[in-house]
Amino acid sequence: MTGSAAPRIAVERAAAHEHGWLVESAHRTSEGVVQYVRCAGCGVRRVDVAAVPIVVPAAASRELG
């Protein structure tokens, strides 16, 4: 019984928390901003793509004063 228990525990541990993603690197592409992220808790890595590129804020009013 002990032989089959170990892998199952490992899977449960990996899924037991909500990943806290840290951005290791990011760069712009024509698709958007690609971010290489890593979970600080378990070390799992993932690639995220922000579909909408970061937009420079536009002025909502004229200059005052």
Q: Which residues bind Zn ion (CB under 5 A)?
A: 19, 39, 41-42
Strand positions, DSSP E, the chain: 21-29, 32-39, 45-50
Cβ closest to Zn ion, residue 24 vs residue 31: 24
Tokens standing for 56? Answer: 């420079």
- By C-alpha distance, which of 52, 48, 55 is closest to 26? 48
CB of 9 to Zn ion, least distance (A): 16
Cβ closest to Zn ion, residue 32 vs residue 41: 41
CB of 6 to Zn ion, least distance (A): 20
CB of 8 to Zn ion, least distance (A): 18
Residue 62 C-beta-side C-alpha neighbours within 13 Å: 2
